Structure 1
Amino acid sequence: MGLWQKGDLVIDWSFSDWCRDRFRPYLLSVARFLGRLGLSPNMVSIIGLIAYGASGLVLGMGHPAAAGWMLAVFGPLDAVDGLLAREQGRASPFGAFLDSTVDRYAEFFLFLGLMAYLMLHRQDGLVEAALVLSAMTGSLLVSYTRARAEALGFSCKVGMLTRFERIFILAVGLIFGWIYPVLVIIAVFTHITALQRIFHVYRQSSN
């Protein structure tokens, strides 16, 4: 995500926002199809969680490419549940809370599967497992800083590596076997993103 300032105007931009805008018609079609099947937005969130859990399990069993493709297929459900809620007029504070909570569990399952894969199926897995721990910690801090900032009334949608970017990079890395460089990117830039958000909230609180 990018952040720049022009005068007193702070402008936010993110790759995830660009993708949502670009693919909104397709995602909306998927949301309407799921709605016709009788699925509620909360059910879609739970289905997404199950899919992420299955991806983590497949990864832990030693099939990173298959897990990456599963992420590529089911990852868009992160955006579909919100679109379905607005389409059905069922957006609610609890739905937003559930979606955010499910997202944290989903990432945990992925990192757990990745940790298992590295420890069981790779000789240099110990070093990479340490990177997974750093990446998981950074990811949780990215989410926590935004949640805490918004609870205090601040805007905090800034940063280089939001959840969408993390999942996208991880899926690509798993599919093409670029696990080590992807882990380094996530492990480093999640913490940079958390620091960006801390600084962003500091600037807002100082004005």
Structure 2
Amino acid sequence: MDTKTVPPVKERKTLTDFMRANTKFIIEPIVDYLARYRFSPDALTVIGMLSHFLFAWLIAIGQMTWAAVAIFFIAPLDAFDGALARKLGRKQGGFGAFLDSTLDRLAEIILFGGFILFYMNSENAVMLGVAYLAITGSIMVSYARARAEALGYDCKVGIASRVERYFVMILFLFLNLPDVAMIILAVATYITLGQRMYTVWQQAYGTPDDSVKNNG
């Protein structure tokens, strides 16, 4: 009896991949400068996380456009810590990688906390619920990838990876449309979670040959 062959999952390029590939000319000179003075990648990671208190405060007090400007100029620090670690010859996948991943999640929790405070102060129960969906969806998107990769699956798929989420926030905060940003993120993050679950399901329940190929 013929066995139906399930083709391997093709990993689509995300906005994160595109930005990383097309901003090297900006990142590399800065990384070279920081490496010259042996600046700690972990310090960059911590500074990036702490900056989210500023973003959250600006959002909480309703300064949406200034929040967008601050996020646009400061949040890209996240792109430098990994590159700096590689430049300094740090072990890949060590404590620095764990710290970066953990503080990225904490940073988003802090950032979305600004929206929650804003909607609480506005006594807008509907948008408070939407913000709750947006933050939980964002965390689940990141968790799904981390758990999948820990099991040996590829999971860099979806319409709302971290860079996409920040892009949506920057754009609509700049336009002073925080409600639109939250609605888009509440929907897009759960779509992305579904995409990632389906991608892992494809790899887990493909033919034996595909499973070996995808997990090898």
Flag whether TM exceeds 0.5 (same fold): yes
Contact 1:154/1:201 (8 A) holds in 2:
yes
> Which residue is 2:13 aligned to?
13
Higher deviation after alignment, 25-34 or 41-50: 25-34
Identity %: 36
Deviation by residue 1:6-46 (Cα, 9 ceiling, x = unmatched): x6461321111111111112012222233345421111000
Deviation by residue 1:87-116 (Cα, 9 ceiling, x = unmatched): 111144211110000100100010001111
> Which residue is 1:130 aligned to?
129
Q: 1:37 to 1:190 in 2, by over 3 A?
A: same
Q: Larger % of strand: which?
A: 1
Contact 1:82/1:91 (8 A) holds in 2:
no
Deviation by residue 1:26-82 (Cα, 9 ceiling, x = unmatched): 012222233345421111000101111221122223312111111101111111111
Structure 2 residue matching 1:29: 3-state secondary structure: helix
Whether 1:29 aligns to 2:29 is yes
Q: Distance in 2 between matches of 1:116 and 1:157?
A: 32
> Which residue is 2:192 aligned to?
193
Q: Distance in 2 between matches of 1:145 and 1:130?
A: 22
Q: Distance in 2 between matches of 1:34 and 1:53?
A: 24
Return the index of the structure with the highest Cα Rg. Answer: 2
Task: Give the letter aligned to residue 22 of structure 1.
Answer: N
Higher relative contact order (CA 8 A, sep 6+): 2
TM-score by length of 1: 0.91
Q: Distance in 1 between matches of 2:201 and 2:138?
A: 20
Deviation by residue 1:159-183 (Cα, 9 ceiling, x = unmatched): 1100111011111111111211211
Deviation by residue 1:105-135 (Cα, 9 ceiling, x = unmatched): 1000100011112222x46x22111110000
> Which residue is 1:141 aligned to?
140
Q: Distance in 2 between matches of 1:8 and 1:138?
A: 27
Unaligned 5+ segments in structure 1 are 1-6
Contact 1:16/1:164 (8 A) holds in 2:
yes
Q: Distance in 1 between matches of 2:46 and 2:34?
A: 13
TM-score by length of 2: 0.87
* 1:94-109 superposed matches below 5 A: 94-109=95-110
Structure 1 residue matching 2:105: 3-state secondary structure: helix
